[in-house]
Chain A
Amino acid sequence: MSGHGRTDLDARAWLLWGVAASLPPLLGRNPFVLTATLLAVLGVRAAMAPSDAEGALAWNGIVRLAAVFASVGTLFNVLTAHLGDRPFASVPDSLPIIGGPLTLNALVYGLLSGSALLTLVLVGTTLGAALDWPALARLLPARLSTVAVAGAVAWAFIPQTVVALREIREAQAARGYRARGGRDLVPLLVPLLAGGLERAVTLAEALESRGFSSSSDQQDWTSAGPPWRAVLAALGLAGTLLGAYLLAAETPIAALTTIGFSAVALAVAGADKRNPRRRTRYRHTHWRQRDSVVAGTAIIVVAAVVITLAADPRAIRYDPYPSLIPPRVNLGLLAALTLLLSPVLVAPVRPSGSPSAKTSRSVQRVPLP
Chain B
Amino acid sequence: MSVLGGRSMTAHLARSVVGLLLVIVAGWAGTAGMAWAATPITGLEPDLHHAGLVVRHGDGRVTYAYVPFEEDAISGIDLLKRSGISHVTISFGGLGEGVCSLEGEGCPAAECRRSVCQGPGANAPFWQYFRQSAPGEWRPLTLGASSTKVRDGDVDGWSWTGHEAGLPAVSLADVARLAGVPLNDEGQGGDLPALQTVYPPGVAPLAAEEGQGTMVYVVAGGLLVLIGGGAVYAARRRRVGEDAEG
Could you tell me which A residues sit within 8 Å of B by CB distance?
29, 32, 35-36, 39-40, 42-44, 46-47, 51, 80-83, 97, 109, 249-250, 317, 319, 321-322, 325-326, 328-329, 331, 334-335, 337-338, 340-341, 344-345, 349, 351-354
Contacts and interface: CB of A to CB of B under 8 A. Distances in A.
Top-9 shortest CB links A-B: A43-B231, A46-B235, A47-B234, A319-B108, A344-B234, A351-B245, A43-B234, A39-B227, A334-B223
Given A338-B227, A351-B245, A321 B108 contact: yes
B10 interface: no
Given A32-B224, A47-B238, A351-B245, A338 B230 contact: yes
A321 B88 contact: yes
Interface in B196-246: 211-212, 216-217, 219-220, 223-224, 226-228, 230-235, 237-238, 241-242, 244-246
Contact of B111 (A250, A325, A345): A250
B109 interface: yes
A325 B224 CA distance: 20
Interface stretch (B17-25, B26-34, B89-97, B158-166): B89-97
Contact of A322 (B101, B110, B235, B244): B101
Contacts of A82: 91
B87 A322 contact: yes
Contacts of B100: 321
Contacts of A331: 216, 219-220, 223
A228 B84 CA distance: 61
B86 interface: yes
Interface residues of B, number: 38
A328 B212 contact: yes
A326 B246 CA distance: 48
Given A249-B114, A334-B220, A354 B245 contact: yes
B211 A326 contact: yes
Contacts of A36: 223-224, 227
A337 B224 CA distance: 10
A46 B224 CA distance: 17
